[in-house]
Amino acid sequence: MKTFLKIIGFLFLGIVYTSLNCQAQSTINPFQFEIKKKLICKNGAVVSAHALASQAGVEILKMGGNAIDAAIATQLALAVVHPSAGNLGGGGFLVMQLQNGSSKTIDYREMAPASSHRNMYLDENGNAQFDKSQSGHLSSGVPGTVAGLFASHKYARLSFEKLIQPAIELAEKGFVISEREASSLNGLKQEFLKFNTVTPDFVKETKWKAGDTLIQKDLANTLKRISKNGAAGFYEGETAKLIVEEMQRGGGIISLNDLKNYRAIEREPHIFNYKGFTILGMPMPSSGGLLLHQMMKMIEKKPIATYGFQSPQAVQLMVEAERRAFADRAAFMGDADFYKVPVAEISSDKYLTKRMEDFVPGKAGNSQLIQPGILPAKESEETTHLNVIDKDGNAVSVTTTLNNSYGSRTIVGGAGFLMNDEMDDFSIKPGTPNMYGALGGEANAIEPGKRMLSSMTPTIVLKNNKPYLLVGTPGGTTIPTSVFQTIVNILDFEMSTEDAVWKPKFHHQWMPDRVDLERGFLPTTRKELETMGYKIVERGSIGRTEVIKKLRNGKFEVIADNRGDDAAEGW
Ligand code: GLY
């Protein structure tokens, strides 16, 4: 066994960034911890947006918990140590493959409140009011996360009290923040003051700096109520009362009944085959599974491996698949409990082959001409992803979100957690882009009780029916395209897992008609794409992708994205 791979980080105020083979972990020390970017281990692994959350998950695995236990503990810890996206006041999706060979998904997406209506964000002239759908009290959907954690707990082994304990301690005693976290809290101080009637723990007189301790007493008390009373500790009683009072102080519409009536839903995964691998993804109301299916099938028959990673031919082919899938998203996708989404039709081989008939190698497509497909019959990016695997063969891939970074920026007074601004993921005005520039129509219009369309793409790739790759990322509409590229990088280009994750990515989403290239992208390919007629926009980080890969020797390779403080843990 290799003992040492390489040190890729540095000592920084109690946080050490490393890349090592894994060893037994000591108990969590929230004031001094390492950020590991790559690990190889054999008993179980967790990769998430924060080292302390990954450690919380691994501690649970060591206590005899399975991957589901660890995923619950990791999410709860993220709600404390990664407040920009980890959450109690948001929602998410979980895909799991269990040791008995069965697979499930849990939908805990937020829901439109009972008194919502399709025109609630339009002014008297019919103009979309994004200030209301993207921040503050009215932008929140009914949170789903806590219901989702309890729905997953059915598949776990340990008591919920055990799983929530690390989060309670992290909130109560505090943890040391990084420079990145300090700078994001400082940058949002005015927003936190603007959208809150009770000053939250994220605001202090002087500037935050790396090495400061963030203590969240109100959040600790909310977590204790959940520990004691279960989901009712959030959806009823004191916490529910605090949520509704907060809503009323700021013009929000979530009611006690909305909270009491919220349910997480177990759904069958969206499953498809790619070159002999079985891919498990999320069905509606996430577009993630279906978009991934469409994009992968549109390229499956092309000799992409011979084109090579980041070659103009490969990038062009994938961009055109992305364009066509996102055109279909805008027209056809929404909560399938409210709108008939033609899933089978737009994922059939016949449809997808036809969809690529107008693809011209070497010439940019045009989104005015390439509209949503003709149906055969009639017709903050701030999210967070985690993967967990255990030695018994259970695997969990979870993406959760508040939508924007720190969601609505409204913290429930006295309860200490952020509310989401997920209502903006509905099509608040058909044909008008949302904060990710995504278009939508009738399929994704607001209706009471409906869940807004998502791009979250928690994914498990099976080889011989056993978990082989666990993949996911935050990034709004760039989520499905990043997952697509990461899987193609590994399966087709046979890249090392860290290169597949860490190398620059690209993105096309039909409208606006342009290719986003991540900083550092190969300049020669950029030039060739421009010659083909593509409009190119260079941008900063695309996503924060986390991957666990099962190696041939049975061990787990765990890769945390180097675009953030994301961290791998295992034993
Ligand atoms: N809020 C981002 C998404 O669900 O796609």
Q: Domains in the chain, please, with CATH?
A: 2-266+383-444 (no CATH), 267-382+457-570 (3.60.20.40)
Single out the catalytic residue among 278, 383, 399, 473: 383
What's the angle, vertex CA 477, arms to CA 471 and CA 479, rounded to 5? 10
- In order along its 571 residues, the chain shows pLDDT tens digits of 333 333 333 334 456 665 555 443 348 999 999 999 999 999 999 999 999 999 999 999 999 999 999 999 999 999 999 999 999 999 999 999 999 999 999 999 999 999 999 999 999 999 999 999 999 999 999 999 999 999 999 999 999 999 999 999 999 999 999 999 999 999 999 999 999 989 999 999 999 999 999 999 999 999 999 999 999 999 999 999 999 999 999 999 999 999 999 999 999 999 999 999 999 999 999 999 999 999 999 999 999 999 999 999 999 999 999 999 999 999 999 999 999 999 999 999 999 999 999 999 999 999 999 888 866 443 356 799 999 999 999 999 999 999 999 999 999 999 999 999 999 999 988 777 777 667 778 899 999 999 999 999 999 999 999 999 999 999 999 999 999 999 999 999 999 999 999 999 999 999 999 999 999 999 999 999 999 999 999 999 999 999 999 999 999 999 999 999 999 999 9
Q: Whose CA is nearest to atom 1 of ligand 1?
A: 403
List all residues whose CB is within 6 A of at least one atom of ligand 1: 383, 401, 403, 422, 425, 454-456, 476
Task: Collapse the DSSP code of 348 into the 3-class scheme (helix H, G, I; strand E, B; otherwise coil) and give the result.
Answer: coil
Q: What is the pLDDT of residue 570?
A: 97
Whether the CB-CB separation of 106 and 265 falls below 8 Å is answered with yes
Strand locations in 288-390 (E): 383-390
Atom of ligand 1 nearest to the CA of 425: 1
CB atoms near residue 265 (< 10 Å): 16
- Interacting residues of 438 by C-beta distance below 8 A, sequence separation 6+: 326, 329, 330, 455, 476, 477, 509
Q: What is the pLDDT of residue 378?
A: 37
Indicate the pTM of the whole model.
0.94
- DSSP code per residue over 179-209: HHHHHHHHHTHHHHHHT-SS--TT--SSPP-
Cα 109 from chain centroid (whole Å): 11
Q: Whose CA is nearest to atom 4 of ligand 1?
A: 454
Active site residue 383: yes
* Ligand 1 pocket mutation pick from 398, 418, 425, 482 by most atoms within 8 angstroms of CB: 425
Angstrom distance (rounded) from CA 181 to CA 208: 9
Q: What is the pLDDT of residue 4?
A: 31
Angstrom distance (rounded) from CA 110 to CA 132: 17
Q: Residue 568 pairs with which residues in a beta bridge?
A: 47
Q: What is the pLDDT of residue 219?
A: 98
Q: What is the pLDDT of residue 144?
A: 98
| 152 burial level (CB within 10 Å; 0-12, 13-18, 19+) | buried
* Ligand 1 pocket mutation pick from 84, 134, 333, 436 by most atoms within 8 angstroms of CB: 436
Q: What is the pLDDT of residue 11?
A: 36
* Ligand 1 pocket mutation pick from 401, 420, 428 by most atoms within 8 angstroms of CB: 401
Q: Are strands 506-507 and 270-274 parallel, antiparallel or unpaired?
A: unpaired
Atom of ligand 1 nearest to the CA of 287: 5
CB atoms near residue 115 (< 10 Å): 12
Angstrom distance (rounded) from CA 332 to CA 253: 28
Rounded to 10°, the helix 145-153/160-173 angle is 140
Please give the backbone phi and psi of residue 231, each rounded to the nearest 5 degrees, phi first. -60, -30
